[in-house]
Structure 1
Amino acid sequence: MKKERWRLYAKKADFAAISKAYGINQVTARIMRNRGVETKEEIESYLKGDLDYLSDPALMKDADKAASLLEAAIANNELIAISSDFDNDGIFSGLLLKEAIIELGGRAAIFTPNRVMEGYGVNSRIVEEANANGASVLLTCDNGIAAFEAIDEAKKLGMTVIVTDHHEVPFEEHDGKKIYLLPKADAIVDPKQEDCAYPFKSLCGTGVAYQLMTLLFRRMKRTMSRQEIFLQYTAIATVADVMELVGENRILVRKGLSYLNHTNHIGLRALMEVCGISPEQVRAYHIGFILGPCFNAAGRLDTIVHALALLESKEYDQALALAGELWAMNEERKELTRVGTERAVELIEHATWKDEHVYLVYIKDCHESVAGIIAGRLRERYYRPVLVFTDASEEGQIKASGRSIDDYDMFTELSAFRNLFLRFGGHKMAAGLTMEKKNLEILRDGLNARCTLTQTQLMPLVMIDAAMPLGYISEEVIADLEKLEPFGRANEKPLFAQQHLSVLRLSRIGKNRNVVKMSVMGPEGIIMDALYFGDTDVFFDFLEDEYGRDNVAAALRGMRNTIDIGVTYYPQINEFQGKRSLQIVIQNYCRVSLN
């Protein structure tokens, strides 16, 4: 069991006044303050914000120029080649741009890279194929900000090039100063550009595409008739790309979810049916952990052709068949991830560098499409920045996908070794690269020599919203907390803490006995069911280590024992056979001293 830092938020505000002014519980008011929502405008946007709260897309650098170029291309009936990518954000930004351009009377086609053979983003093959098919305009989405060679080639072929992206702008450091590098495109729309006036910098690629299309429709004096569909695309991409659910992202996701909950989109409804979800049930969780991974699986194991075919289906039976294929691909992806993660853990446990602060793990013969997922699993297990390397298609080359922790800017740290990379891109929390295998140890030594992470920073920080006894939980409190949705990165589900929970009964449930169910009692005598969905083996090891096997055995039989734990939790309502009851879902646990 890895050590954690538990910390209670200590932010101050007049919670009673906020509660009265906005008709919310004081606990809900406290949580909003904990999430950095302070001013009247921020509170109103957080609770009620609609599309009117979005910034004017014209504020984005080059957005007017890009819209003007696209308007001209549509007027001249030119074919616009959309260079997309192979993840959710690439799929949905590409489809949004294509459908919007066609709605405006233009011609557009999507071109995507093969993940295994070509890697991320626009490349020479895409440029040449698009040009051979008669495209005179190259429009990138969710990529392009670092595609110097491919864009140079497109310009030599006489193509108009428009980049839309949301990734960090590449840079070189000279005398401690960052010199930003931009491709030679005709227009670059990326809020991360240093001189871009757009105030919200955290849109995903689909969010950038949506705003650019909003500007184009406005420029052409047209009403966006498919706006509801485009917002559904934007919501899925924003959540699946793990963007911060704050500010404009929160507005886009909340609005998109409201449309997803009664969607008539054939492809989306078919995938929901195959995954056992009804549209009205869909929350951010379902996008992040069920629907999103299915779309990602297409690009990870094959190409995104399957995903696009599903999303463009006109017949429901065909859509169901395609959705079934995506589901099967995702099941295959899960198995590849499980096997790859087990191999990676074995390598780390026997490695001479296990005590280093940045992990670089080379897994021979691992399918490169799951490297990023494995990196994420390893980050959670060891709480380290992790880069997982696999063999590239070119002899002697390896590729990596990285996932970082809060206190480590992976993009900046890797940028110091740009000279080692053949391809490179990313942001603070994730990155991808290709390099010569012979340079792996040089990179490992260099990253760890530069690393300034302390032992404290290498312990996960668990931020608790409030210490809330079980007796405070009610259906009204839970209903009020739902006003804070959608939950996700930077707007995490509220977390409460309770010390001294006595375990009255303990069991493992579920098909694979992978859920812990307990009956617990707080110091005030309130008894409630509690569930834990984490690693059940680690949980039982913890109980036996701290309280002894006899106490665990007694709890399993529902007999008297001395188990007394502290937990963080989220409250929810359990509905079973028409009956509703309160329960808590445990997130973290620790021993509580009896002294």
Structure 2
Amino acid sequence: MEKWFLTMKKADFQEIAGRFHISPITARLIRNKDLTTMEEIDAYLNGTISDLYDGMLMKDMDRAIEILSEKIREKQKIRVIGDYDIDGINATYILQEGLVRLGAEVDTDIPDRIRDGYGLNRLLIDRAISDGVDTVITCDNGIAAKEEIAYGKKLGLTVVVTDHHEVPFTEVEGEKQYQLPPADAVIDPKRVDCPYPFDGLCGAGVAYKLVEALTEAMGEDSTDLDDLMENVAIATIGDVMDLVDENRIFVRQGLEMLKRTKNLGLRALMECTNIPKDGINPYHIGFILGPCLNASGRLDTAKRALELLEAKELREAMVLAEDLKVLNDSRKELTEKGVKEAMDQIEASELKQDKVLVVYLPECHESIAGIIAGRIREHYSRPTLVLTKAETGVKGSGRSIEAYDMFTELNRCRDLFLKFGGHKMAAGVSLPEENVEILRKRLNENCILSWEDMAERIHIDMKLPFAYINEDLIREFSLLAPFGKGNTRPLFAEKNLRVYYPQIVGKNQNVLKFQVQDPAGNRMEAIYFGEAKKCLEYIQRKQEMAFTFYPSINEYNGRRTIQLTVVNYQ
């Protein structure tokens, strides 16, 4: 079920076009991104590293710098404790690399997904104490580790938290009471008392801000850290953060740096996965490079992905990269099996009537629960939690839809959990097995969304007659890149279209190629990726169609043609 919406933001498109030397069509696309002033549009089109905000604006940054600069001077042992996903791995690397360059005595620890679970726990703290660690810095975790940090403090640890997740809260008479952990410094732009202008950074972005501010405070040149923006870009895309504001600058800059990266591990991984270095884009990171880094934390240990980033010999890097690729191939097979099992369970039970899907797959590998939840969410357009049997109780991951704030809704059920955390669109939980059915019922009883609210919303930028589409316009659209969450590729629509010569192609029979003609007789090549057979059957029943699409230039055997990639059809 889809609902199509045409975006109709108003502005003087001719003035914007003239000011920035772009077409009125591109000016309309920019205005659709809720950019209203000329300053905002200029920052969007022309933002550079120099426009990044000062990390010192973050609450507790001054305290963290004071603590860490003293620990570095005193040669105290510092340990970075990260997380096992793409954001946590890159954040760990950024902190370690930044601290090493300042002469710190630093090492790292990343929890094991199965044995340790997410974030800080007593085992990690005990390990740090027995290894003679003086100071722990968390990254991409820690904001919810109130009891664990209190335990570490009691044992004499100094603790600095860097995180980007929501601050846990309890509701008392409708008012949120936030609960910060008792660390020596808590750096998280999501803190309500943090004056930092942008709260959408990933964990690696927050880590970068800390090492940048620390480097400057210790009298060193922070531009020496610019290469670490590659890791911020990878984490920002991989953790599906909105590509707006600072994130847009980090990703655009980081992608350019990746084309000539000196990091042997990243070079090896791009090579063995056939990513074109000169043309690397968010798709390559989100769907090829990122899943390989994530696969280590899912099926093995995330320390292997960290070793890849740290590799100093090309041969070592190539071996590690190949290992990660093999792990990711194995993860894909497990995912397909899990998705099928989840869909079979939904279709054969009363789950199909639920607005919030809670699917329990006891035998599923817990590391792929989030990926399966994402796939189920896409298929049914409903918030989804996939739960699996763990060593103790049940663990799981959730993926949400635009209209449903998953973190807030889970917070209303917090008495059912042993542990939970996350944000509006995704979450992780652990709970006793006997609470699984109670959770499912309570989430659905609490859900006030109508089925109409839950329909997938397709936001169309504008109607675009075929006569306006040419190579110059398509090239101009690249000014809006990089595309991703929060800065989606422009989506156009046309109706009353006739389809000619439809043909299913591709080894998986999931590509439909055809020609499409508008009422004025203009004809274009088109391609559709997805359920090609279903699309073809629909086309064969209809005289005229409406499509959403984006245009691109297709080069094949030296021939250049304009091709429309169809996204939705009616």
TM-score by length of 1: 0.94
Name the structure 2 match of 1:533.
Answer: 529
- Mapped pair 1:582 → 2:559: no
Distance 2:197 2:498 in 1: 49
Question: How do residues 353-392 of structure 1 correspond to structure 2 at under 5 angstroms?
Answer: 353-392=351-390
The one-letter amino acid paired with 1:573 is: I
The aligned counterpart of 1:20 is 18
Contact 1:112–1:122, Cα closer than 8 Å, also in 2: no
Deviation at 1:469, TM superposition (A): 1.6
Alignment match, 2:455: 459
How far the C-alpha of 1:437 sits from its partner, in A, is 1.0
Residue 34 of structure 2 is matched in structure 1 by: 36
Distance 1:265 1:524 in 2: 53
Deviation at 1:144, TM superposition (A): 0.2
Rounded to whole Å, the distance in 2 between the matches of 1:468 and 1:228 is 40
Q: Which residue of 2 aligns with 1:552?
A: none
Aligned residue number for residue 485 of structure 1: 481
- 1:229 Cα deviation (Å)? 2.1
Indicate the residue corresponding to 1:567 in structure 2.
547
Instruction: Give the aligned partner of residue 251 of structure 1.
Output: 249
Give the whole-Å Cα distance in 1 for the aligned partners of 2:108 and 2:385: 30
Residues 1:270 and 2:268 are matched in the alignment = yes
Deviates more, 1:501-510 or 1:245-254: 501-510
* 1:396-407 → structure 2 map (5 Å cutoff): 397-407=393-403
Q: Is the 8 A contact 2:539 2:545 kept in 1?
A: no
Structure 1 position 278, deviation (Å)? 2.1
**By how many angstroms is 1:156 displaced?**
1.5
* Aligned amino acid, residue 393 of structure 1: E
Note the alpha carbon deviations across 1:226-267, whole angstroms, 9 max, x for none: 423210000000010000001111111111111112222211
Q: Which deviates the most, 455-464 or 219-228?
A: 219-228
CA deviation string 1:41-82 (max 9, x = no partner) = 211110010122222211111011011111111101111110
In the alignment, what sits opposite 1:504? 500
Matches within 5 A, 1:28-427: 28-224=26-222, 226-394=224-392, 397-427=393-423
Checking the alignment, whether the CA contact within 8 Å between 2:212 and 2:225 is kept in structure 1 is: no
Structure 2 CA distance for aligned equivalents of residues 226 and 370 of structure 1: 37
CA displacement at 1:123 relative to structure 2: 1.2
Q: Secondary structure at the match of 1:387?
A: strand
Identity level (%): 47
Stretch of structure 1 that moved more, 90-99 or 462-471:
462-471
Question: Could you tell me how far apart the structure 1 residues matched to 2:250 and 2:197 are?
Answer: 15
The letter of the residue matching 1:203 is L
SS at match of 2:514: strand
Distance 2:446 2:563 in 1: 46
- Displacement of 1:353: 2.9
Matched-pair contact (CA < 8 Å) for 2:387–2:394: yes
Of 447, 450, 460, the residue aligned with 2:446 is 450
Instruction: Please give the alpha-carbon distance, in whole angstroms, between the structure 1 residues aligned to 2:434 and 2:539.
Output: 46
CA displacement at 1:31 relative to structure 2? 0.9
Which deviates more, 535-544 or 25-34?
A: 535-544
For 2:470, which of 459, 471, 474 is the aligned residue? 474
Q: Which runs of 4+ in 1 moved over 6 A?
A: none
The separation in 1 between residues aligned to 2:538 and 2:207, in whole angstroms, is 48
Contact conserved, 2:60 with 2:187, CA < 8 A, in 1?
A: yes
The answer to whether the 8 A contact 1:497-1:566 is kept is yes
Distance in 2, matches of 1:542 and 1:384, equals 24
Q: Deviations over 1:133-166 (max 9, x none)?
A: 1210000000000012221221122110000000
Query: Using the alignment, how far apart are the partners of 1:589 and 1:238 within structure 2?
Result: 31
How far 1:224 sits from its partner (Å)? Answer: 3.0
Alpha-carbon distance in structure 2 between the residues aligned to 1:239 and 1:58: 24
> Distance in 2 between the 1:10 and 1:217 partners?
46
User: Quick check: 1:142–1:206 contact (8 Å CA) kept in 2?
Assistant: yes
User: Partners of 1:293 and 1:451 in 2: how far apart?
Assistant: 32
Contact preservation (8 Å) 2:417, 2:430: yes
How big is the shift at 1:541?
4.2
Structure 2 segments unaligned to the other structure (5+ residues): none
- In 1, are the aligned partners of 2:512 and 2:536 still within 8 Å (CA)? no
- In structure 1, the residue corresponding to 2:181 is in which secondary structure? coil
Distance in 2 of aligned mates of 1:300 and 1:510: 30
Amino acid corresponding to residue 411 of structure 1 in structure 2: F
Whether the 8 Å contact between 2:369 and 2:396 is mirrored in structure 1 is yes
Number of paired residues? Answer: 570
Whole-Å Cα distance in 2 between the matches of residues 113 and 537 of structure 1?
Answer: 44
Question: How many Å apart are 1:177 and its aligned residue?
Answer: 0.9
Aligned counterparts of 2:33 and 2:384: Cα–Cα separation in 1 = 27
Which moved further from structure 2: 10-19 or 493-502? 493-502
Change (3 A) 1:537 1:124: farther
Work out the CA distance in 1 between the residues paired with 2:266 and 2:224.
15
Q: Is the 8 A contact 1:341 1:374 kept in 2?
A: yes
SS of match in other structure, 1:115: coil
Q: Distance in 2 between matches of 1:225 and 1:48?
A: 20
Distance in 2 (CA, whole Å) between partners of 1:267 and 1:382 is 38
